[in-house]
Structures are given as structure tokens and as C-alpha cells.
Amino acid sequence: MGKKVAIITGSATGVGAATAILLAQKECNVVINYTRSENEAFETAKIAEKHGAETIVFQADVSKDEECQAMVSATMKKWGQIDYLVNNAGRTKFNFFENLDGLTMDDFQSIYAVNVVGAYQMIKAVVPHMKKQGSGAIVNDSSLAGVNAMGSSIAYVTSKAALNAMTKSLAHVLGPEIRINAVAPGPIKTRWLKGGMSDEAYDSLIDQAEKSLPLRKVASAEDVAEVLVWFLEGAPLITGEILIIDSGAHLGQLASYSSEDL
């Protein structure tokens, strides 16, 4: 049996790159997708190839249906199969919630176009091939923001909530051949997060989280990649699940009691 084939959107850097490299280590051929980070995409491909994978580096904006279809067609032309899809491409605009004037209709539409519609278009493109071959697995890289309604902006939060709901909706109809799940990470140590904040704010966030979280750790890109890949190859009876990866942040602040309170 030949190697499995995975498409990972937004995989030039960060979680997407870590996922592509991990899949390469697990003997998958991988499609590295980017919109602007061309140099980084080819660097990620080189690393994947060092682990024995064949690669395609494909520039595509997932908000454009024809580009999603083209990427899937190129994959099928090269390998004749698609086993895994990781919807990792994401977009946000950092904006404080109270600043209602800080988000425009265009902001919402551009964020939803990638985070929700883009994921849907990629799923729509791969499903016929996965159905025909009789198996496939899809995992959506969502966010804790879509669960607890806190994040970089209201537009981002609601887009991830929509992605979570879409994951559950599609689980009803993609089986039995295809499983679909989502992961919901909290903050991740990536340039994507750092790029939307000042250095001081970023360092403060990470420091505070690592002192207060139950597991005392903020996820790395590789930490999230491990869970994404587990959903693809290690969860045969799980579909429609949204799995939180946040070192316990969603549990909230633990109340402190003294002996006099008991």
C-alpha cells in the first residue's frame, strides 16, 4: 500500500507547517499551501522531503473556490488519492471587543471567507474523492475563541464558533466513509499571535498564562499538530468532536478556600 496523502491549508508556517512535517515523519505525502509566505512554504517542503515525503507547494487562497478546486485537482493528478485534509488556514483582525467601530462589514466578510467558507470549499472539493476511495479524515483547526467567546476580535470569535457548528453538521452526512473533527487551541506560541500584539503584550500574555494555567504551559505549534494528526490517524470512532487544547484554560480560575471557609 502506498503512502497516504494529506492537504494542509495555511501550512507555510506555524501549526500548519508543524502538521505537514509531522505527517511527513509518519510517511505521508503532503501538500504545502500558502497565500503569501512562499519562501517559508518551500522551506517547510524541504524539511518534509528530508523525512521521505513527496510534496506539492501550492499557492491558493482558500476563500476562492476555484483555487481550492485547483489545489485538489493538482493533488489528484500527482497521487490519485486524498486521505487527509487539515483546514488550518485562518485570518483575523485584532480588535478590542468594546471597539464596535473597529470592525467593518469587509472585516467580517474577509475573516469568514477564510475561516468558514474556505474550510467548507476545501471540504466540498475533497469529499467526492474520499467517498470514492471509501475513506478519509478531515480536521478543522478552530480555536478556544469559538467555545468561550474570547479572542482577537468578535469577528474571529464568531467565525470559529461557526466552524465548530459546521464540523458537527458535516459529521452527520460525511460518514461512514469520512470522519470530521475540530481542535480548539487556546493561545499558541506562533508568529501569527505575536504579529497581532506588541512584544510587551505578547510576553505578558505568555508569562501570565504559564503561571496560572493548570498545566502551566502555553501550546507550541508542534503540540497542536500532535492532536491534529491524532484525529486523522488515531481516532477511528470519533466524528463531530470539538477538542479543546488549552492546558486547562477553559476551566476558569480555581476558587481559593482556606480552612476557615470549610
- Label residue 78 exposed, middle or buried (CB < 10 Å: 0-12, 13-18, 19+): middle
- Label residue 47 exposed, middle or buried (CB < 10 Å: 0-12, 13-18, 19+): middle
The arrangement of secondary structure in 4-247, i.e. its CATH architecture, is 3-Layer(aba) Sandwich (3.40)
Cell readout for 16 is: 500548519
- How far apart CA 114 and CA 143 sit, in angstroms, is 14
CA distances from 118 to 43, 45, 53, 204, 252 (A): 24, 22, 26, 33, 32
Instruction: Kindly report the pTM of this predicted structure.
Output: 0.91
**pLDDT digit string (tens) for 50-95?**
999 999 999 999 999 999 999 999 999 999 999 999 999 999 999 9
Residue 108 φ then ψ, to 5°: -60, -45
90 contacts 115 by C-beta, under 8 angstroms: yes
E strands, 142-209, in order: 178-185
* Nearest to 75, CA basis, from 129, 132, 152: 129
* Nearest to 68, CA basis, from 112, 28, 117: 117
- Model confidence at 254: pLDDT above 70: no
Least trusted range by pLDDT, from 17-21, 132-136, 146-150, 245-249: 245-249
Q: Quote the pLDDT of residue 253.
A: 56
Instruction: For the chain, give the longest Cα–Cα distance.
Output: 71
- Model confidence at 259: pLDDT above 50: no
Q: Quote the pLDDT of residue 1.
A: 58
Beta bridge partners of 58: 33
Average pLDDT of the chain?
92
30 contacts 20 by C-beta, under 8 angstroms: yes
Q: Which residues are known to be catalytic?
A: 156
184 falls in which pLDDT band (50, 70, 90)? very high
pLDDT, average across residues 150-178: 97
53 contacts 29 by C-beta, under 8 angstroms: yes
Q: How many CB atoms lie within 10 A of CB 37?
A: 19
The torsion of the CA quartet 32, 187, 224, 116, rounded to 10 degrees, works out to -50
For the chain, give every domain's residue range: 4-247
Residue 29 φ then ψ, to 5°: -85, 145
pLDDT, average across residues 96-115: 98
Q: Quote the pLDDT of residue 210.
A: 78
Residue 37 φ then ψ, to 5°: -85, 65
pLDDT, average across residues 238-247: 94
Residue 131 φ then ψ, to 5°: -60, -45
Q: How many CB atoms lie within 10 A of CB 49?
A: 14
- How far apart CA 158 and CA 150 sit, in angstroms, is 10
